[in-house]
Amino acid sequence: MPMTLFYAPRSPFAAKVRVCLAEMAGAKDEVEEVPADPWTDETLRALNPLCKVPTLRLDAAAGGGNLYGSSVIVQYLDARFDGKLVPTEGPTRWDALRREALGDGLAEAVIRRFVEGLDPDNARRDKVIARQEAAITAVLDHLDAEAAWTESALDLGAVAVGTALRYLTGRSPEITWQAERPRLAGWFGRFITRPSVATLGY
Ligand SMILES: N[C@@H](CCC(=O)N[C@@H](CS)C(=O)NCC(=O)O)C(=O)O
């Protein structure tokens, strides 16, 4: 039985894992991708106490069990399939993981801003939204300013940034970020044409 990756079509964290999977030679055939709604599908909780996506159900070759947390899942797959998306040592490793943290934080800020905006009666709403927007702006500026990474081979950090930008652009189109950040926008334009991204759907 292959491994199973439970994902939600709109989840940026699940998209990060799915893009990495598609970028790893030989890995995609070993993992069945199954859509799941973490908000309504409580069967997911038996695999992951947090009841979140992405969750990866391992196969017998791995001794069974489950992995969760998009970074943990990608690092597992990279090690197992020699995916070369997670540098194993040296400054490039920490740089990739640091950039992954920026991408994850960007996605989290976009999600939190959206969710807070759904509740007009929340007294803390404006303050929380302003804090998320400050983070979104600062992360975008930072990624554009350190744009040397956009010339390097794709790694986990770049995928995390790309899938977070894709989520930002779809979820919050009113945040226009591209014109002021041409290097980041240019890289993102190329990222979304990669087959691993273009075939995500949604
Ligand atoms: N840090 C986790 C975040 C995963 C996450 O928050 N997933 C969301 C979908 S984008 C989810 O499943 N939410 C359901 C919930 O919060 O109960 C990761 O990197 O995988």
Report the pLDDT value the prediction gives residue 122, as an integer from 0 to 100. 83
Domain 3-81: top CATH class: alpha beta
User: Which residue type does 202 have?
Assistant: Y
- Residue whose CA is closest, atom 15 of ligand 1? 52
Q: How far is CA 163 from CA 47, 67, 80, 85, 101, in A?
A: 25, 20, 23, 15, 12
Ligand 1 atom, smallest distance to 8 CA: 9
Chain centre to alpha carbon of residue 197? 12
Q: Which residues of 26-61 are buried (b: 16+ CB within 10 A; e: fewer)?
A: ebeeebebeebebeeeeebeebbeebbbbbbbeeee
Closest by CA to 20, choosing from 72, 94, 63, is 72
- pLDDT, one tens digit per residue, over 55-112 is 999 999 899 999 999 999 999 999 999 999 999 999 999 999 999 999 999 999 999 9
CATH 1.20.1050.10, the chain: domain bounds: 91-194
| Residue ranges of the chain whose pLDDT lies below 70 | none
- Residue whose CA is closest, atom 6 of ligand 1? 52
69 secondary structure, DSSP code: S
% of the chain with per-residue pLDDT over 90: 92
Ligand 1 atom, smallest distance to 17 CA: 20
Report the pLDDT value the prediction gives residue 179, as an integer from 0 to 100. 98
The CATH architecture annotation of domain 91-194 reads Up-down Bundle (1.20)
Report the pLDDT value the prediction gives residue 167, as an integer from 0 to 100. 98
CATH 3.40.30.10, the chain: domain bounds: 3-81
User: Which residue type does 135 have?
Assistant: A
Residue 38 is encoded by which pair of tokens?
Answer: 């973490």
Tell me how far the alpha carbon of residue 179 lies from the centroid of ligand 1, in angstroms.
30
Tell me how far the alpha carbon of residue 191 lies from the centroid of ligand 1, in angstroms.
23
